[in-house]
Amino acid sequence: MDSGLDNNGPLNRFLAEVERRAFQMAKFATRNRDEALDLVQEAMSQFVRHYSTRPAEEWKVLFYRVLRSRITDWHRRTLVRRRIIAWLGRPNDEDQEDPLQALPDTQNPNPSEQVLRQEERGVLERAIRALPLRQQQAFLLRAWEGMDLKQTAFIMKCSEGSVKTHYSRAVHALRGVLEEKLS
Amino acid sequence: MNAKDPEKLLLEKAKDLLNLGVESLGPQTERQLGDIRIRALSAAEEKRPGSFSPRRWVMVGGLAAATMAAVALFFWLSPSPESLPTGHVEDLEIITSKERMDLYQNMDFYRWLETTENGARKNGKAS
């Protein structure tokens, strides 16, 4: 029987498919590359440990549910830490931009188009990062991952009505920023 | 797709740019993500119930052998029923005897009888 856990099994292929998007989602939430990698690692370990025996068609929703849960935990911990740091009066350098983000993609043959696309991407990513966490998650899951309302509600552990509200606010906020800069 | 719907266009554009971001993560990040995935799968394989490693088989075998040895030793050292002292059987008879139970059940009557007899003796001495 195919265990799915070996390096060529279906579970490995599934994780290889989602890992980059998962990393991007975690990075939007944390604004930090290393923290995002840690969160993806935690989510993958937990997912494989608890859900690898579930049917493959459930994997995507379950994986994103685990990831969202890890991100929310991280967010909670960070808020507490920031409050303590603010109370102690120390500077907080966690909000700084990732320097790797600014590196150009040297593989693109058309530099001017590439620069334009990078700028647009930067605008969009900054706008997504500026969203409140729940709006950010609702937007990424619905608009990017193509999850339906029910799946998104399951992942976010909230009602479908809440998902609609978060998503609609996110789209409204992003439209305000992007229509001006991307048009 | 409705090309005139500005929201749909905006979402398409956003999706396109987000996909672009995923494609340009860089070799270092992609390698690290691959390592993370392999580690998660390997850890799960080690902990998975049913996937017994040779080391675990040796441990289980050793435990089974030790249990069997302990059971054999217990039977070897425990006294046989033939050598049970006769006194034990007598004790058992006393414990299960019906008369003893009657004695305890009628204890109130015996106490009353003793009190009555003692009272009669005192009265006799006094008179």
Please indicate whether, in this complex, the C-beta atoms of A143 and B22 are within 8 angstroms of each other.
no
Spell out the residues 6+ positions from residue A124 whose beta carbon is closer than 8 angstroms to its own: A174, A178, A182, B14, B17, B18
- pTM for this one? 0.64
Give the pLDDT confidence score for residue B47 in this predicted structure: 65
For residue A149, count other CB atoms closer than 10 A to its CB.
15
Helix, strand, coil share (%) of chain B residues, nearest 5 = 85, 0, 15
Give the pLDDT confidence score for residue B99 in this predicted structure: 59
Closest-CA distance of chain B to residue A95, Å: 20
- Identify which has the larger pLDDT, B77 or B31: B31
pLDDT at residue A60 greater than cutoff 90: yes
**Mean of the per-residue pLDDT values of chain A:** 85
- Give residue-wise pLDDT tens across range A142-169: 999 999 999 999 999 999 999 999 999 9
ipTM entry: 0.78
* Chain B residues near residue A40 by CB distance under 8 angstroms: 33, 36
Q: Which of B15, B35, B37, B46 to mutate to test the interface with A (most CBs of A within 10 A)?
A: B37
Model confidence at A109, in pLDDT bands (50, 70, 90)? low
Helix, strand, coil share (%) of chain A residues, nearest 5 = 75, 0, 25
Residue A9 DSSP label:
S
Model confidence at A63, in pLDDT bands (50, 70, 90)? very high
pLDDT at residue A98 greater than cutoff 70: no
- Identify which has the larger pLDDT, A86 or A174: A174
Q: Three-state SS for A103? A: coil
Give the pLDDT confidence score for residue A111 in this predicted structure: 62
Give the pLDDT confidence score for residue B1 in this predicted structure: 47
Model confidence at B15, in pLDDT bands (50, 70, 90)? very high
Model confidence at A1, in pLDDT bands (50, 70, 90)? very low
In this complex, which of A44, A52, A124 lies closest to B37 when CB atoms are compared?
A: A44
